[in-house]
């Protein structure tokens, strides 16, 4: 089985990389189950995907709530009979030096970027085990590969997930589970909108993203590539960044 006919749940599907991935996979014949908090956006996306001949459904998911991830996985199984892939994409970023002590922002990043992935794993793994196959794809970041000032905590959360997936991979050599960490560089999305409080810094950062960032569809294609491999082939890590990114 390739992408055609696969059942793929995506967190953070209401904008950016998640939305682009939903559109791309649905256009290639996957049935997509979309989760995020902004359900108005999800509903619009489902309508657009279906109008284009695709198959999609959505439910409200706050990844900090384990029961919401369970509902996302349950919806996939109830509606389509199985879950082939969970794309753990939902994420938040707060950019500031550690010495600024943005304790609230740190907690938000840990809750969404790390615990959100763990909640997805808890919901999906039993289904994957029952089926005898499944694929966990997480969206981490080049921030974890090249550590830069103001992104220490964000990078830490992304590297926590990278480590988690490598550990899980080593525990899962029965051929049932595939794990992949995708590391995007700058991508033109809404991520920056809530990342910085200072309006001048936010505008500068937004401009930088707009100048340098790649289109989220590029990451969607990378996600499609890892999903599309035969089940005995696992792409563990994939880095995708603007050619001009340092």
Residues that bind ligand NAP (CB under 6 A): 11-12, 14-18, 36-38, 61-64, 89-93, 112, 139, 141, 184, 186-187, 189-191, 216
Q: Report, in Å, the least distance between residue 206 CB and ligand NAP.
A: 11
Angle between helices 39-51 and 16-27 (to 10 degrees): 20
Q: Report, in Å, the least distance between residue 187 CB and ligand NAP.
A: 4
By beta-carbon proximity to ligand NAP, the closer residue of 118 and 176 is 118
Can you tell me the distance from the alpha carbon of 233 to that of 215, in angstroms, rounded to the nearest whole number? Answer: 27
> Which uninterrupted H or E stretch holds 56?
strand 55-60
Given the structure tokens 């790390």, which residue do they identify? 114
Q: Report, in Å, the least distance between residue 197 CB and ligand NAP.
A: 16
Q: What angle do CA 116, 154, 157 make, to 5 degrees?
A: 45
Q: Report, in Å, the least distance between residue 228 CB and ligand NAP.
A: 20
| Among 106, 128, 154, 186, the one annotated catalytic | 154
By beta-carbon proximity to ligand NAP, the closer residue of 145 and 176 is 145
By beta-carbon proximity to ligand NAP, the closer residue of 54 and 213 is 213
Residue 186: active-site member: no
Q: Report, in Å, the least distance between residue 171 CB and ligand NAP.
A: 24
By beta-carbon proximity to ligand NAP, the closer residue of 119 and 135 is 119
Can you tell me the distance from the alpha carbon of 136 to that of 86, in angstroms, rounded to the nearest whole number? Answer: 5
What three-state secondary structure class fits 75?
helix
Q: How many residues does the chain have?
A: 246
Task: Measure Cα distances from 98 to 147, 148, 150 in Å.
Answer: 13, 12, 7
DSSP at 187: B
Can you tell me the distance from the alpha carbon of 203 to that of 201, in angstroms, rounded to the nearest whole number? Answer: 5
SS (H, E, C) 230-244: CCCCCCCEEEECCCC
β-bridge mates for residue 11, sequence order: 35
Given the structure tokens 């369970």, which residue do they identify? 70
By beta-carbon proximity to ligand NAP, the closer residue of 64 and 129 is 64
Residues designated as active site: 154
């Amino acid at each position: 089985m390739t992408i055609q006919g696969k059942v793929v749940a995506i967190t953070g599907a209401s904008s950016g990389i998640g939305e682009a991935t939903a559109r791309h996979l649905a256009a290639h014949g996957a049935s997509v189950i979309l989760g995020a908090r902004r359900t108005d956006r999800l509903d619009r996306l489902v309508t657009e995907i279906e109008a284009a001949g695709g198959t999609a459904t959505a439910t409200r998911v706050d990844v900090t709530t384990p029961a919401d991830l369970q509902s996302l996985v349950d919806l996939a199984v109830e509606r389509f009979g199985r879950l082939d892939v969970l794309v753990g994409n939902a994420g938040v970023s707060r950019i500031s030096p550690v010495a600024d002590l943005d304790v609230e922002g740190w907690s938000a990043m840990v809750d969404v970027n790390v615990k959100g992935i763990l909640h997805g794993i808890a919901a999906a793994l039993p289904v994957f085990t029952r089926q005898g196959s499944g694929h966990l794809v997480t969206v981490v970041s080049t921030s974890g590969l090249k550590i830069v000032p103001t992104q220490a905590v964000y990078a830490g959360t992304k590297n926590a997930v990278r480590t988690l997936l490598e550990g899980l991979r080593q525990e899962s050599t029965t051929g049932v589970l595939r794990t992949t960490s995708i590391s995007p560089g700058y991508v033109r999305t809404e991520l920056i909108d809530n990342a910085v409080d200072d309006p001048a810094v936010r505008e500068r950062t937004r401009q930088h993203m707009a100048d340098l960032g790649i289109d989220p569809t590029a990451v969607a294609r990378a996600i499609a590539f890892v999903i599309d491999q035969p089940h005995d082939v696992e792409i563990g890590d994939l880095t995708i960044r603007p050619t001009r990114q340092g």
